[in-house]
Chains A and B, each alone.
Chain A
Amino acid sequence: MNDLIGQVFNAIGALLADLEAWLSPYLPGQSKVALLAFGFYVLLLLGGGLTAILARNLVRATLGLIITFLGVAGFYLLLASPFLAMMQLLIYIGAVCVLIFFAIMLTKNTSDGEEASLPRLANLIYAFLAGLAPLVVAGPLIVQGTKDIVTRQPVDSGTNLGEGLLSIDLLSFELISIILLVAMAGAVYLAWRPSGGEERA
């Protein structure tokens, strides 16, 4: 059994080495495996994002959103920020997506609901034009402006982040705790329905 697993790992390693040798003339100076991982995460991001904005069923759209979040978590791993990747999984997938599922459930928005039909063609075209605008404006700027930037990637432990939270970003840290408290209280206030009474105007 161990022999079999070892053979599988060896085969995968040989395959990756072959792939790297095959890719090396086209992509000089980059780590090939990292580029492959980047391409995989871009696929996750594109597929999930398109599902999230085009699916007619909101539950499917939320599942697409989860796939996109997974892709972004992979980007954080590639950026040598493992703590952020973990927080991405915990906060976005664990909390925000569950909140969205709650919103869908509580409003009974099923597959034959308001989003069941595609928007008018003209609206779709206008929307894609609006989406193209940032790509056309900022895309060339990004490509021009970051051409020669060398990225340094030290791996940071969570300890450094904790020290940063309590020194340089102390004020933001306290402010965001107040914001979270206010948001929670506001949400409870908005959604509160006194039992038996009329709903608050």
Chain B
Amino acid sequence: MSPLTLFLLASLILLALGLVGLITRRTLVGMLISVELMLNGAGLSIVAAAKTSSLTGLLDIHGQLAALFVMGLAAAEATLVLAMVLVVQRRFGRITMDSVSTIKGSNCESH
């Protein structure tokens, strides 16, 4: 197996773990943790694939910069999710996914 295979399989494992966590977790914070796992797998696969010019036709620099952008987006996403978790906690008293089942204007009373 080439080194690229090993790195891509490692990032695939991260993706699978994050997917399992995203489905089994019930709170928003737990789902945020799983999404961070998957984003890490994405960055790892980008860097590993850009190391081979024959596969992607790109320079190594492009892959590293793309992974840096993934990190920046993950930080922005985590900030927004923290604010959303606070709002959900304030309005519903819990942060489970099934507590956020009413939207503005619907007649159901909130929990």
Which of B1-38 touch A at CB < 8 Å? 1-10, 12-21, 23-30, 32-34, 36-37
Give A102 to B81 CA distance when docked, in angstroms. Answer: 11
A12 within 8 A of B: no
B73 within 8 A of A: yes
Tally of A-B residue pairs with Cβ under 8 A? 244
Residue from B4, B13, B33, B89 within 8 A of A62 (CB atoms): B33
Is B89 a contact partner of A106 (Cβ separation < 8 A)? yes
Expressed in whole angstroms, the minimum distance between the Cβ of A156 and any Cβ of chain B is 6
Which of A75-125 touch B at CB < 8 Å? 75-76, 79-81, 83-84, 87-88, 91-92, 95-96, 99-100, 102-104, 106-107, 109, 113-115, 119, 123-124
Is B61 a contact partner of A153 (Cβ separation < 8 A)? no
Contact with A along B61-103 (1 / 0, CB 8 A): 1101101110111111111111111110111001110000000
Is B29 a contact partner of A100 (Cβ separation < 8 A)? yes
Is A107 a contact partner of B86 (Cβ separation < 8 A)? yes
Give A109 to B85 CA distance when docked, in angstroms. Answer: 11
Is B12 a contact partner of A46 (Cβ separation < 8 A)? no
A53 within 8 A of B: yes
Is A79 a contact partner of B47 (Cβ separation < 8 A)? yes
Complex: chain A residue closest to B77, CB-CB: A183
Interface secondary structure of B, over-half rule: helix
Can you list 23 contacts pairing A with B, beta carbon distance less than 8 Å? A30-B3, A53-B21, A53-B24, A58-B33, A79-B7, A92-B36, A96-B78, A99-B78, A100-B33, A102-B82, A103-B86, A107-B85, A107-B95, A126-B23, A130-B20, A131-B16, A135-B16, A149-B4, A151-B4, A152-B53, A161-B68, A164-B62, A189-B83
The 8 tightest CB contacts between A and B, nearest first, are: A53-B21, A183-B76, A190-B83, A131-B20, A187-B83, A127-B23, A49-B17, A131-B16
Instruction: Please judge, given known A-B contacts A61-B30, A152-B51, whether A45 and B13 are in contact too, CB under 8 Å.
Output: yes
A13 within 8 A of B: no
Is B82 a contact partner of A142 (Cβ separation < 8 A)? no
List the A side residues contacting B24 at CB < 8 Å.
Answer: 53, 119, 123-124, 127
- Interface size of A in residues (CB-CB distance below 8 Å): 88
Instruction: Please judge, given known A-B contacts A84-B68, A131-B17, whether A109 and B27 are in contact too, CB under 8 Å.
Output: yes
Is A142 a contact partner of B37 (Cβ separation < 8 A)? no
List the B side residues contacting A127 at CB < 8 Å.
Answer: 19-20, 23-24
Is A84 a contact partner of B27 (Cβ separation < 8 A)? no
Is A75 a contact partner of B10 (Cβ separation < 8 A)? yes
A143 within 8 A of B: yes
Is B32 a contact partner of A79 (Cβ separation < 8 A)? no
List the B side residues contacting A149 at CB < 8 Å.
Answer: 2, 4-5, 52, 54-55
Complex: chain A residue closest to B2, CB-CB: A149
A165 within 8 A of B: yes
Is A165 a contact partner of B65 (Cβ separation < 8 A)? yes
Give A201 to B16 CA distance when docked, in angstroms. Answer: 37
